[in-house]
C-alpha cells in the first residue's frame, strides 16, 4: 500500500503525517514519528483529512447560479462568466468597485498562496480584505512598527525557555499561532519538567491554563493595561537589561516615560488582577534565566490590540529576552517570501480606516457595499473564506453580499458565504498538490524544511487555485484589452503572464537556492519526513530588523498616542463602569479541538458527540440570574441576539461568558448536511462591526458587551 509523507494543512502546527492509500481512497492517517518538528504529534483533526477529502458535499465541478438555481458548467464557461461579471463591475464603476476577501486556508495552500499576489495586483483594487483583519493584524502591525517588517515576528523559543507568559492564546487546543509548535502539550510539560514556569493570563481557565503552573483571570480587553504595568514595574524596580539588543534600540527612555503612569496599583481594578500579583509576575519574568512573553489572538481582537502586542515584545526586549535562547527568537527558514509591508497608504471610503499590508479591515466591508457613491463595492471575489460567519456582524455582511451585482467564490464548499456567489469555482483538494509552507517555517519554534508531493494524482478535470487564478487573470485582461482597442487604444499585455508561466516548484527551488542553507528541491525531497535545521539561531536582530538604521524602535508616535487614549479610557472608567449591572456580561470566544473555524463542521467524525456550541458562565452569575445548567439562554448585543444552551462552569471569570466561533450553520441554500444537523449559533451575529481596534481597524471579537437572559425561544 503506498505510504505518503505529508504535512497536515489544517492549522499552523503543520504536523508531519503519513497517509496510506489504496486507489483514490485514504486507508489510514498516522503521525509521522520522524518529522523533526512535530516529533510524532498529531491532533484528532488530522484524521478528518479523510472526511474532508471524501466529503460527498464537496463541490468538484464549477457551478453558475441563476435565479437561485445552481448548474454545473465547464471550466471554460465558468471562467468566462466569472471574468465577464468582474470586468463589467470594474469597467462601469472603476477598479475599486471590485473587492476581494481571502480566507484562512489559502495560507496553508501553496498554489493559492503563490498565485494570489499576482492576481490581486492585476485586479488593481484598493478594496482588498482578508481574515487577517479579524485575526493577527495587530501583532503584524506591532512588529512592523518595532522591527520594520510585518512578518518579523519573534517566536517563543519554547523548547529552551524557563518561563513562558501566555496572554490570549490557548495553544493546547489551537496548537499555536504565529508560533508553529506542534505538540504544545508536550512542550509545555517539558518546560515545567526543566523547573521552568508557564503562566497563563486568560478570562477563561482554558485547557492551556489548566496545564500551566499558574493561571490568572484577566478582564477581557485589558491586556495593554496589564503589560503597561509589567513594564512600569520593570523600570521602577530596575529589573531590566537589553541583552542582545544592547546598542540596537532607540526610544528606551521614551518607553520608560510612557509606561510610568500605569503602575500596577492604578490598573489593578481595570485588569482584574491584584497589584501584588502583577508586580510578582514582572519580577519572576525578569529573574528567570530566560523568558518569553507570547501574546496571541485574545490580545489582538480587542480595542488596544496593536498596543498590547507591541508592549508584549517591548517586555521581551527590555528584559533581555529578544534573540536569546529560551527567550523570543527569529526563525531562519530555508526559504521565505515576504516583503516589509506597508501602513496607511490609503483609507477606506466611508469610515477612513487605514490600509495595512495592502488591505483594509474587513469590519468595514459591509458599509463599503451598502453605501452608494463613487467607489462603492459592487462585486466581490472570495477565496477560501467564510466572512458571513467569521467577521463581526456577519449577518449584516451576509445581506450586503446578497445585494452585490456580482460575486465569485473560489472554494470547495457551498457554505453560508459561497451560497451567495454567482459563480463557484472549486479548487481541487490540497492533497492533490505539492505542499511547502512558506509562511509557517518562518514562524516555527525549530528550523526545519519539508516538501510534500501530491498524495493523489489530480482528479481528471480538476484545477488548483494556481490554474484558476491564471485563467481568470488571462480572461479579465483579454476583456480589458478588447475595451482598450475598441476605444482606439493599444492592446493590453497580460501582466500576470510571466508569473503564471513559472510553476510553484520553480518558485520554491529559487527561494531555497537563495536561502541561508543553499538547499535544493532534491535535497529536501530526499528526506520525506523533513530536514532538521536545528534549534532557533541567535543573530536574528541582525537578520530580521529591517528599519533602515537596523535599530529596534522602542517608541513610535502612533504607539504613544494609543497610550494616551488608553490612559484617558482608564481614567474615564471605561474598563470598570459596567461591573455592577446584573445581567451585563463581557462575551469572549473559544476554539475547540474538534472544530476548525467555520469549515470543518461537515466532518462526521469531528462533529459527533455532545452539543459544543454552548454559552459558558460562572456558577455565581448563573445562580444570581436563576439560570440552570442546560437551560436555553438568549444573548443580546447591540447588533443582534442568539439563543443557545447554557453550560455552567467555574472555568469562566465571573462577569464573562463564552461562545465558540464558527457555528451558525442555519442558513438556507448551503450544502453542508452534517454541519446543518448540528448548526449552533454564530457568535459573529453578536460581535459589533462599528467598533474596531485603534491602529489597524482589526475586528473586536472579545469583551463584547452583552446581556444574558432566560430564553423564550426554542433553540435551533
Ligand X SMILES: Nc1nc2c(c(=O)[nH]1)N[C@H]1C(S)=C(S)[C@@H](COP(=O)(O)OP(=O)(O)OC[C@H]3O[C@@H](n4cnc5c(=O)[nH]c(N)nc54)[C@H](O)[C@@H]3O)O[C@H]1N2
Q: Where do contacts with ligand X occur on this chain (CB under 6 A)?
A: 11, 103-105, 109, 112, 131, 134-135, 167-171, 173-175, 177, 201-204, 206, 218, 220-221, 223, 296-299, 302, 383-387, 390, 410-413, 415, 427, 430, 465, 588-593, 595-599, 661-662, 683-684, 687, 701-703
The answer to whether 212 and 200 have CB atoms below 8 angstroms apart is: yes
Q: How far is CA 701 from each of CA 180, 587, 659, 698, rounded to the nearest angstrom?
A: 23, 8, 11, 9
Q: Is the dihedral of CA 460, 461, 462, 466 positive or negative?
A: positive
- Give the β-pairing of 128-130 and 98-102: parallel
603 binds ligand SF4 (CB under 6 A): no
Binding window for Mo ion (CB under 5 A); candidates: 134-142, 339-347, 380-388, 638-646: 134-142
What string marks each residue from 504 to 543 as x (binds ligand SF4 by CB under 6 A) or -?
----------------------------------------
SS (H, E, C) 193-218: HCCCEEEEECCECCHHHHCCCEEECC
Rounded to a whole number of angstroms, the minimum distance from the CB of residue 135 to ligand X is 4
- The distance of Cα 633 from the centroid of its chain, to the nearest Å, equals 29
Q: Which does 169 bind (CB under 5 to 8 A by kind): Mo ion, ligand X, ligand SF4, none?
A: ligand X
In sequence order, what are the residues at sequence separation of 6 or more whose Cβ sits closer than 8 angstroms to the Cβ of residue 167? Answer: 201, 202, 218, 223, 226, 227, 293, 294, 295, 296, 298, 299, 308, 312
Could you say which of ligand SF4, ligand X, Mo ion, none residue 42 binds, taking C-beta under 5 to 8 angstroms by partner kind?
A: ligand SF4
Residue 674 Cβ vs ligand X, minimum distance, rounded to whole Å: 13
**Residue among 161 and 180 whose Cβ is closer to ligand SF4:** 180
The cell for 106 is 489559502
Distance CA 569, CA 303 (A): 11
CB of 329 to ligand X, least distance (A): 19
Residue 358 contacts residue 128 (beta carbons within 8 Å) = yes
Q: Applying CB under 6 A, which part among 42-50, 384-392, 513-521, 683-691 lies near ligand SF4? A: 42-50
- Bridge pairing between strands 446-449 and 423-425: unpaired
Nearer to Mo ion, 215 or 591 (CB): 591
Q: How far apart are CB 220 and ligand SF4 at their closest, in Å? A: 26
598 contacts ligand SF4 (rule: CB under 6 A): no
Q: Which is nearer to ligand SF4, 98 or 444 (CB)?
A: 444
Of 94-102, 128-136, 363-371, 573-581: span binding Mo ion (CB under 5 A): 128-136
Q: Of these, 10, 188, 379, 380, which contacts ligand SF4 (CB under 6 A)?
A: 10
**Full DSSP string of 581-626:** -TTEEEEEEE--TT--TTTSTT-HHHH-SS----EEE-HHHHHHHT
Spatial distance between the Cα atoms of 317 and 242, rounded to a whole number of angstroms: 6
To ligand X, the closest distance from the beta carbon of 400 in angstroms equals 15
Nearest distance, CB of residue 82 and ligand SF4, angstroms: 31
Q: Shortest distance, CB of residue 316 to ligand SF4, whole angstroms?
A: 25
Distance CA 63, CA 578 (A): 50
Contact 111, 142 (CB under 8 A): no
Contact flag: residue 11 with ligand SF4 (CB under 6 A): yes
Beta strands in 303-417 (DSSP E): 328-329, 343-347, 354-356, 379-383, 406-410
Eight-state DSSP code of residue 220: T
Q: Smallest distance from the beta carbon of 599 to ligand X, in angstroms?
A: 4
Please state the closest distance from residue 336 (CB atom) to Mo ion, in A.
20
Stretch that binds ligand SF4, among 5-13, 57-65, 202-210, 486-494 (CB under 6 A): 5-13
**Between residues 133 and 161, which has the closer beta carbon with respect to Mo ion?**
133
Residue 314 interacting partner from ligand SF4, ligand X, Mo ion, none (CB closer than 5 to 8 Å by kind): none
Residue (242 or 421) nearer to ligand X, CB: 421
The interaxial angle of helices 305-318 and 137-147, nearest 10 deg, is 50
Nearer to ligand SF4, 13 or 249 (CB): 13
State the minimum distance, in angstroms, from the CB of residue 174 to ligand X: 3
627 grid coordinates: 439560570
Instruction: Enumerate residues 200-229 that contact ligand SF4 by CB under 6 A.
Output: none
- Through-space distance between the first and last CA atoms of the chain, rounded to whole angstroms: 45
β-strand 197-201 against 214-216: which pairing, if any?
A: parallel
Q: Pick one of Mo ion, ligand SF4, ligand X, none as the site partner of residue 134 (Cβ within 5 to 8 A by kind).
A: ligand X
Give, as ranges, the residues between 341 and 400 that touch Mo ion (CB under 5 A): none
Interface with Mo ion includes 135 (CB under 5 A)? yes
Query: Could you tell which of ligand SF4, ligand X, Mo ion, none binds residue 423, using a CB distance below 5 to 8 A set by kind?
Result: none
DSSP state of 714: P
Site string for Mo ion, 424-463 (x = CB under 5 A): ----------------------------------------
Q: Quickly tell me which residue has 518562518 as its cell.
A: 442
C-alpha angle 375/381/387, rounded to 5°?
95
Q: Does 45 bind ligand SF4 (CB under 6 A)?
A: yes
Per CB under 6 A, does 600 bind ligand SF4?
A: no
The least CB distance from residue 224 to Mo ion, in Å, is 21
- Residue from 42, 140, 479, 683 that binds ligand SF4 (CB under 6 A)? 42
Q: Which three cell numbers stand for residue 553?
A: 524602535
Stretch binding Mo ion (CB under 5 A), from 7-15, 131-139, 361-369, 655-663: 131-139
- Which residue from 29, 43, 615, 644 is in contact with ligand SF4, where contact means CB under 6 A? 43
How far is Cα of residue 112 from the mean position of the Cα atoms in its chain?
17
Q: What is the dihedral of CA 686, 687, 688, 689, to 10 degrees?
A: -120
Chain residue whose CB lies nearest ligand X? 298
Smallest gap from Cβ 390 to Mo ion, in A, equals 9
CA proximity to 481, closest of 492, 470, 473: 492
Nearer to Mo ion, 383 or 408 (CB): 383
Tell me the C-alpha distance between 315 and 140, whole Å.
17
By beta-carbon proximity to ligand SF4, the closer residue of 182 and 240 is 182
46 binds ligand SF4 (CB under 6 A): yes
Name 188's Cβ contacts closer than 8 Å, sequence gap at least 6.
Answer: 158, 164, 171, 172, 198, 208, 211, 212
With beta carbons less than 8 A apart as the criterion, state whether 626 and 710 touch: yes
CA-based angle 86:338:429, to the nearest 5? 55
Judged on CB neighbours under 10 Å (0-12, 13-18, 19+), 358 is: middle
Binding partner of residue 588 among ligand X, Mo ion, ligand SF4, none, CB cut-off 5 to 8 Å per kind: ligand X
Q: How far is the CB of 596 from ligand SF4 (least distance, A)?
A: 7
User: Which of 106, 133, 175, 386 touches ligand SF4 by CB under 6 A?
Assistant: 175
Secondary structure (3-state) at 449 = strand
Dist. CA 105–CA 465, nearest whole Å: 12
Contact 222/566 with Cβ under 8 angstroms? no
State which residue, 145 or 397, has the beta carbon closest to ligand X.
Answer: 397
Nearer to ligand X, 552 or 708 (CB): 708
Contact 507, 114 (CB under 8 A): yes
DSSP helix/strand/coil, 132: helix
Contact residues for ligand SF4, defined by CB under 6 A: 8, 10-11, 13-15, 42-43, 45-46, 175, 182
Amino acid at each position: 500500500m503506498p505510504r505518503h509523507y505529508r504535512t497536515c494543512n489544517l492549522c499552523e502546527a503543520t504536523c508531519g503525517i503519513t497517509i496510506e492509500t489504496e486507489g483514490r481512497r485514504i486507508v489510514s492517517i498516522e503521525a509521522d514519528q520522524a518529522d523533526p518538528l512535530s516529533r510524532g504529534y498529531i491532533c484528532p483533526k488530522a484524521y478528518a483529512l479523510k472526511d474532508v477529502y471524501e466529503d460527498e458535499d464537496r463541490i468538484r465541478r464549477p457551478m453558475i447560479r441563476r435565479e437561485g438555481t445552481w448548474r454545473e458548467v465547464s471550466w471554460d464557461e465558468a471562467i468566462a462568466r466569472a471574468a465577464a461579471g468582474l470586468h463589467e463591475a470594474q469597467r462601469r464603476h472603476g477598479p475599486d468597485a471590485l473587492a476581494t476577501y481571502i480566507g484562512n486556508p489559502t495560507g496553508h495552500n501553496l498554489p493559492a498562496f503563490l498565485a494570489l499576489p499576482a492576481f490581486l495586483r492585476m485586479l488593481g483594487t484598493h478594496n482588498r480584505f482578508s481574515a487577517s483583519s479579524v485575526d493577527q493584524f495587530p501583532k503584524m502591525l506591532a512588529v512592523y512598527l518595532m522591527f520594520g517588517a510585518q512578518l518579523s515576528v519573534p517566536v517563543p523559543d519554547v523548547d529552551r525557555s524557563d518561563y513562558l507568559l501566555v496572554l490570549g492564546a490557548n495553544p493546547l487546543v489551537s496548537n499555536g499561532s504565529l508560533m508553529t509548535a506542534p505538540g504544545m502539550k508536550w512542550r509545555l510539560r517539558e518546560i515545567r519538567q526543566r523547573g521552568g514556569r508557564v503562566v497563563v493570563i486568560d478570562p477563561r481557565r482554558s485547557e492551556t491554563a489548566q496545564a500551566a503552573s499558574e493561571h490568572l483571570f484577566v478582564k477581557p480587553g485589558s491586556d495593554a493595561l496589564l503589560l503597561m504595568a509589567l513594564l512600569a514595574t520593570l523600570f521602577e524596580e530596575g529589573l531590566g537589561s537589553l541583552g542582545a539588543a544592547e546598542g540596537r534600540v532607540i526610544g528606551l527612555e521614551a518607553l520608560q516615560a510612557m509606561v510610568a503612569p500605569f503602575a500596577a496599583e492604578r490598573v489593578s481594578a481595570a485588569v482584574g488582577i491584584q497589584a501584588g500579583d502583577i508586580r510578582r509576575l514582572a519580577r519572576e519574568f525578569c529573574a528567570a534565566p530566560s523568558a518569553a512573553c507570547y501574546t496571541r489572538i485574545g490580545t489582538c481582537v480587542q480595542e488596544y490590540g496593536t498596543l498590547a502586542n507591541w508592549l508584549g515584545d517591548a517586555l521581551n526586549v527590555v528584559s533581555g529576552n529578544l534573540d536569546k535562547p529560551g527567550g523570543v527568537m527569529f526563525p531562519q527558514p530555508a526559504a521565505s517570501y515576504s516583503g516589509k509591508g506597508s501602513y496607511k497608504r490609503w483609507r477606506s471610503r466611508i469610515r477612513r480606516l487605514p490600509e495595512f499590508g495592502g488591505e483594509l479591515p474587513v469590519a468595514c466591508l459591509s458599509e463599503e457595499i451598502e453605501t452608494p457613491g463613487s467607489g462603492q463595492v459592487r462585486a466581490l471575489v472570495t477565496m477560501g473564506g467564510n466572512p458571513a460567519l467569521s467577521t463581526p456582524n456577519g449577518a449584516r455582511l451576509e445581506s450586503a453580499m446578497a445585494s452585490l451585482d456580482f460575486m465569485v467564490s473560489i472554494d470547495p464548499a457551498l457554505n453560508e458565504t459561497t451560497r451567495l456567489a454567482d459563480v463557484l469555482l472549486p479548487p481541487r483538494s490540497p492533497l492533490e498538490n505539492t505542499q511547502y509552507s512558506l509562511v509557517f517555517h518562518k514562524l516555527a519554534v525549530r528550523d526545519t524544511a519539508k516538501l510534500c508531493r501530491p498524495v493523489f494524482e489530480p482528479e481528471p478535470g480538476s484545477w488548483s487555485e494556481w490554474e484558476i487564478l491564471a485563467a481568470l487573470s488571462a480572461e479579465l485582461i483579454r476583456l480589458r484589452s478588447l475595451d482598450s482597442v475598441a476605444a482606439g487604444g493599444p492592446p493590453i499585455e497580460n501582466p500576470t503572464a510571466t508569473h503564471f508561466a513559472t510553476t510553484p516548484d520553480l518558485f520554491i527551488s529559487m527561494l531555497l537556492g537563495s536561502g541561508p542553507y543553499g538547499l535544493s528541491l532534491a535535497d529536501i525531497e530526499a528526506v520525506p519526513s523533513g530536514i532538521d535545521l536545528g534549534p532557533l539561531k541567535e543573530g536574528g536582530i541582525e537578520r530580521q530588523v529591517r528599519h533602515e538604521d537596523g535599530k529596534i524602535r522602542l517608541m513610535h508616535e502612533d504607539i504613544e498616542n494609543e497610550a494616551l487614549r488608553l490612559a484617558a479610557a482608564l481614567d474615564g472608567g471605561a474598563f470598570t463602569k459596567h461591573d455592577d449591572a446584573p445581567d451585563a456580561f463581557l462575551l469572549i470566544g473559544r476554539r475547540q479541538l474538534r472544530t476548525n473555524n467555520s469549515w470543518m463542521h461537515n466532518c462526521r467524525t469531528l462533529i459527533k458527540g455532545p452539543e459544543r456550541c454552548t454559552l459558558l458562565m460562572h456558577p455565581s452569575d448563573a445562580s444570581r440570574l436563576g439560570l440552570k445548567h442546560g437551560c436555553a439562554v438568549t444573548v443580546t448585543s447591540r447588533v443582534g441576539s442568539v439563543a443557545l444552551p447554557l453550560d455552567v462552569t467555574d472555568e469562566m471569570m465571573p462577569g464573562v461568558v463564552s461562545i465558540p466561533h464558527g457555528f451558525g450553520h442555519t442558513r438556507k441554500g448551503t450544502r453542508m448536511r452534517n454541519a446543518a444537523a448540528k448548526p449552533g449559533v454564530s457568535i459573529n451575529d453578536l460581535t459589533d462591526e462599528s467598533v474596531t481596534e485603534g491602529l489597524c481597524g482589526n475586528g473586536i471579537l472579545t469583551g463584547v458587551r452583552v446581556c444574558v437572559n432566560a430564553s423564550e425561544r426554542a433553540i435551533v
